[in-house]
Structure 1
Amino acid sequence: MISFNYETDFKLENEVHFSKWISSTIQEENCREGEIIYVFCSDDYLHKLNVDFLNHDTLTDIISFDYSVGKELHGEIYISVDRVKENASDFNVSFEDEIARVIIHGVLHYCGYKDKSDDEEKLMRSKEDYYLGIR
């Protein structure tokens, strides 16, 4: 089950469409959907999580806590709407495209994709682009 929660004034339009898109991505990656919770929040909210839980004193667009068991995906994905807006401007893309990229990025981590090395990041971007193209 995929759920969307809000710690900010932002509301995701067409939650049903996003939920179906995320579910189909999980299936295509040969994983099973468990409980995945998205929380949309502010920079301040996410920064506090970053400091408290990861010991990182930086701003970020996404933090995911992965509770998956094997191929059954479970977790919490926190997304800073403030950071997504700024990144959309910096990358010269629409807010809608950037929020979709971050949404799918989180679930791709649960599917096993990483982005620490250049090769891992290249594969992650390729997967993001693929799923963005079929949303």
Structure 2
Amino acid sequence: MNLELTVEDPRWHGLEALASRAIQAVLDRCGLDSDLCEVSVLGCDDTRIAELNSEFREKSAPTNVLSWPAEDLAADTPGANPASPAPDFMGEIVLGDIAISYDTCLREASQAGKAMDDHVTHLIIHGVLHLLGYDHIRDPDATLMEAVEVDILGKLGIDDPYNE
């Protein structure tokens, strides 16, 4: 897997290892050849992610994770699996970009009594699933996405974040 990591916030120690593990787990679950896949991850703070959230989603507040898929793979039918990405003319599968905020992740993990690494792993998995066409706007899609997240997290030894 080609992970392009940019760390803007120096508090992001170990982000490369967490991101690599999470992304690999998603690719394995989805049956994708990780040698062909490329994902970009930005480790930032609340100020930067709020700027991105405002620019791309017209929401002027920080959030935990944002995703920009390289292509729209979403299923037309609610609750159906998204389409699988295909390699481009170079044989690569460029999935897209993810930004994750240290401040929001730390705050959410602390409030939930979770380990920061587990929460960050969950959010990267969540972001990669968005790159692969999963979503949670429609209830059937949310049910599918959460089930996939829980399955992947379980294989990594991380508790179900939706069963609090």
Q: Report the TM-score when normalising by structure 1.
A: 0.85
Confirm or deny that 1:55 pairs with 2:58.
yes
Matched with 2:6 is 5
Matched with 2:111 is 90
Contact 1:31–1:111, Cα closer than 8 Å, also in 2:
no
Confirm or deny that 1:41 pairs with 2:44.
yes
Alignment root-mean-square deviation, CA: 2.2
Q: Structure 1: how far apart are the matches of 2:114 and 2:31?
A: 30
Alignment coverage as a number of residue pairs? 135
Higher share in strand? 1
Please tell me the residue identity of whatever aligns with 2:70: Y
Deviates more, 1:37-46 or 1:27-36: 27-36
Deviation at 1:16, TM superposition (A): 4.7
Distance 1:113 1:49, change over 3 A: same
Matched with 2:27 is 26
Over the matched positions of the two proteins, sequence identity in percent amounts to 26
Q: Structure 2: how far apart are the matches of 1:6 and 1:64?
A: 16
Q: Report the TM-score when normalising by structure 2.
A: 0.71
Distance 1:14 1:38, change over 3 A: closer
Please tell me the residue identity of whatever aligns with 2:67: S
Runs of 4+ in 1 over 4 A off after TM superposition: none
Distance 1:95 1:17, change over 3 A: closer
3-state SS, counterpart of residue 40 of structure 2: strand
Deviation at 1:75, TM superposition (A): 0.8
Deviations 1:30-72 (A, max 9, x none): 3454321111100000000111222111221111111138613
Distance 1:94 1:20, change over 3 A: closer
Deviation at 1:24, TM superposition (A): 4.2
Contact 1:73–1:110, Cα closer than 8 Å, also in 2:
no
Please tell me the residue identity of whatever aligns with 1:87: E
Deviation at 1:111, TM superposition (A): 1.9
Max radius of gyration: which structure? 2
Higher share in helix? 1
Q: Answer 1 or 2: higher relative contact order, Cα 8 Å, separation at least 6.
A: 2
Q: Structure 2: how far apart are the matches of 1:3 and 1:49?
A: 18
Which stretches in structure 1 are left out of the alignment for 5+ residues? none
